Amino acid sequence: MLPKRAVLLCILVFVLAAPAAAGSIERIVTPSGNGLDITLTLTDIPVGGIVETLPDGCTWTEADHPENRTRVSGQQVAFAVIGEETIRYRVQGPPDVAEAFAGTWEDLLTGESGTVGAGEPRNPGPGAATAPGTPGFGCAAAIVALAAAYRWRCGR
Amino acid sequence: MTRRLLLLACSLCLLAGMAQGVPCDRDGDDTLTAPELATAILDSLDARFMGGTVEAPSPVDLRDAAFIYEHWDGRTLTITDSSGRTTTLSRPLRRIALFNSDTLEMMRSLGLEPDRVVGVSKYVLEDPVFYPEYQGTANLGSTWAPDYEQAASIRPDAVFLYATLSESSCADIEKTLRSIDPGIRFFRFDSYRPATYAEEARTLGLLLGKEEEARRFLSFHRNVTGTVAGVVDAIPAEDRVSVYLESWHDYKSAGKGSGYDEKIELAGGRNIFGENPVEYPVVDPEAVISRNPDVIVKIVGAGELAFGGYGDDDRSSFETVCRTIGNRPVWDRITAVRDGRVHIIHSDVIGGPEYFIGTAYLAKWFYPDLFTDLDPRAVHQQYLEEFQHLDYDLDEHGTFVYPA
């Protein structure tokens, strides 16, 4: 290869692959009466799924999401997302558990997944708390993979 | 080699009987509704994350279902390619193999994710400057010398071939690969012909789930072609500049109905050999002199003039070619030579998917006073940045036209 072609190749190796819009979900938890109102705001996830894990001491009440797109099992709630940009649900529980909600999401078009609330938090306004990002299944998988790699390196 | 191919064919035939319906279509009516998709998503989440024991769709089925719902209205997609063949799909294309590098470029304009491409022609691999992201992808050889073993081993779900170029070679490839793996879908697109360019981009957009990207790209394309057409359409036939176009082979021109004849016409020129029934005739130098063209366009980038383009920053070869044309015996009598209207253009911007950039250059050369606001170089730069997603500065790299 000619030197100038090599230089060009080096330059172009930084090709800007067509960036798919990166998805994210923000969670806002607002104390209300004897419960909490949770608002999930979805960005660039047209078709996907969300699993929310409610903190201990909280019990599911209701959601504005269609019933046939919502499934509750114990402390976990699954939402099927088909075009929705906002999902609101309500739980009964103490107001001090706002930061204990955990959740994970998947974008079924891009294959991306992430942790609910891991994006840039927005100003939640008075009386509201934004739950910080919580390690989700992606992190758990990474830890398992690291452990497997360690075991492999150690010959076990 | 033959035995390995046979073994591969047998194993692929065993896999060919996979379900062909729309995934997650529970009632089997070939339409995936929102409730059916929602149930599939919830079943999958339940089984994977919530300890549920419900029978859930596989991750592949679920992603395919999401794609079909979002892009194909939940139904199978029936499309007609440029060979006139109709194909019905119940799954998105995830493993694409292309013998046609022009279609790969068009797909890139539509934002195709590189990881959906599993095999490319050798020409893509020989062009690391323009196709950096495909270096390392399986080499399928060429339309004329295909590597069947490689093509079958990458297990493509679709193979793209030319529609009107090397038709018999493409037919052979299709026949051979189909005998190895009956499950492969074959599509024929050209992606370089002005007459079918827009329709092909629309069809590919639908096929790939890139409808919005196709609309955006075609808006850009239409803006350029429309600007040129809007001006040249108003020029009476008798006022149109006469043009002699020569390929990289000396005295090989463009006859009636050829691709270059069409491009001269699109740019408002009158091809001096436009009535020649031979598609690419070798002409007599005397015939060029007697027809006395206003403009001469010489194409480089192949054959003995295989220089210039994306991987070459040296303009000197273009200058030499231009000077050589002016020095041909008695050609100093030709108006184009006398007036300094001999132009050199690289095949990359006139012969393939970038033809509309080259056409803009031609129009500007033919009618400089009518196209003072047209900047083909800026069009080219926008194409590379916005649609090819390349970090390539035309001010610093490449050689495409002379005089610039």
Tens digits of residue pLDDT in B53-108: 999 999 999 999 999 999 999 999 999 999 999 999 999 999 999 999 999 999 99
Question: How confident is the model at residue B24, as a pLDDT?
Answer: 97
pLDDT tens across B238-277, in order?
A: 999 999 999 999 999 999 989 999 999 999 999 999 999 9
Q: Are strands A86-92 and B270-271 parallel, antiparallel or unpaired?
A: unpaired
Question: How confident is the model at residue B143, as a pLDDT?
Answer: 95
Yes or no: say if B34 and B69 are a contact pair by the CB < 8 Å rule: yes
State whether residue B386 is helix, strand or coil: helix
Yes or no: say if B157 and B137 are a contact pair by the CB < 8 Å rule: no
B132–A48 CB contact, under 8 Å: no
In which band, very low, low, confident or very high, does the pLDDT at B404 lie, cut at 50, 70 and 90? Answer: confident
The position carrying tokens 């009158």 is B270
What mean pLDDT value characterizes chain B?
94
CA distances from B1 to B6, B141, B147, B179 (A): 9, 16, 11, 16
B397–A8 CB contact, under 8 Å: yes
What is the rounded CA–CA span in Å between residue B197 and residue B220?
13
How close does chain A come to B381, measured CA to CA in Å? 14
What is the rounded CA–CA span in Å between residue B200 and residue B163?
11
Yes or no: say if A82 and B34 are a contact pair by the CB < 8 Å rule: yes
The position carrying tokens 């008075």 is A126
Count other C-beta atoms under 10 Å from residue B404's C-beta: 9
Topology annotation, domain B237-402: Rossmann fold (3.40.50)
Fold match between domain B78-209 and domain B237-402: yes
Most distant CA atoms of chain B, gap in Å: 87
Give residue limits of the domains in chain B.
22-75, 78-209, 237-402
What is the rounded CA–CA span in Å between residue A19 and residue A70?
31
Question: What are the tokens at B54?
Answer: 């419900």
State whether residue B289 is helix, strand or coil: helix
Yes or no: say if B159 and B177 are a contact pair by the CB < 8 Å rule: yes
Question: What are the tokens at B244?
Answer: 């002699």
pLDDT at residue B216 tops 90: yes
Q: How far is CA B20 from the centre of its chain?
A: 29
Question: How confident is the model at residue B7, as a pLDDT?
Answer: 52
Question: Which chain B residues have a beta carbon less than 8 Å from that of A16?
Answer: 389-391
Of B38, B63, B111, the CB nearest to A18: B111
Please count the residues of chain A: 156
A15–B108 CB contact, under 8 Å: no
Question: Which chain A residues have a beta carbon less than 8 Å from that of B394?
Answer: none
In which band, very low, low, confident or very high, does the pLDDT at B12 lie, cut at 50, 70 and 90? Answer: very low
- Please state the rounded mean pLDDT for residues A37-53: 97
B133–A15 CB contact, under 8 Å: yes
Question: Which chain A residues have a beta carbon less than 8 Å from that of B44?
Answer: 49
Q: Are strands B401-402 and B342-346 parallel, antiparallel or unpaired?
A: antiparallel
Interface test with B, best of A5, A8, A81 (most B CBs within 10 A): A8
Task: Determine the residue of chain B that is closest to A81 in CA distance.
Answer: B38
pLDDT tens across B303-335, in order?
A: 999 999 999 999 899 999 999 999 999 999 999
Q: Does B310 touch chain A (CB under 8 A)?
A: yes
pLDDT at residue A126 tops 70: no
Question: What are the tokens at B316?
Answer: 């000197």
Of A136 and B48, which is predicted with more confidence? Answer: B48
A14–B66 CB contact, under 8 Å: no
Strand order across the B295-300 sheet: B270-271, B242-246, B295-300, B342-346, B401-402
pLDDT at residue B29 tops 90: yes
Q: Does B187 touch chain A (CB under 8 A)?
A: no
- Encoded amino acid at B198, one letter: A
Those of residues 72-111 in B touching chain A at CB distance below 8 A are 108, 111
Give residue limits of the domains in chain A.
20-153
Question: How confident is the model at residue B5, as a pLDDT?
Answer: 53
Q: How far is CA B268 from the centre of its chain?
A: 24
- Please state the rounded mean pLDDT for residues B106-123: 97
pLDDT at residue B339 tops 90: yes
CATH class of the domain defined by A20-153: mainly beta
**Exposure class string for B52-61: b at 16+ Cβ within 10 A, else e:** beeebbeeeb
How close does chain B come to A108, measured CA to CA in Å? 5
Whether omega before B403 lies within 30 degrees of 0, making that bond cis, reads yes
A66–B38 CB contact, under 8 Å: yes
pLDDT tens across A61-120, in order?
A: 999 999 999 999 999 999 999 999 999 999 999 989 989 999 999 999 999 999 999 864
pLDDT tens across B156-193, in order?
A: 999 999 998 888 999 999 999 999 999 999 999 999 99
Topology annotation, domain B78-209: Rossmann fold (3.40.50)
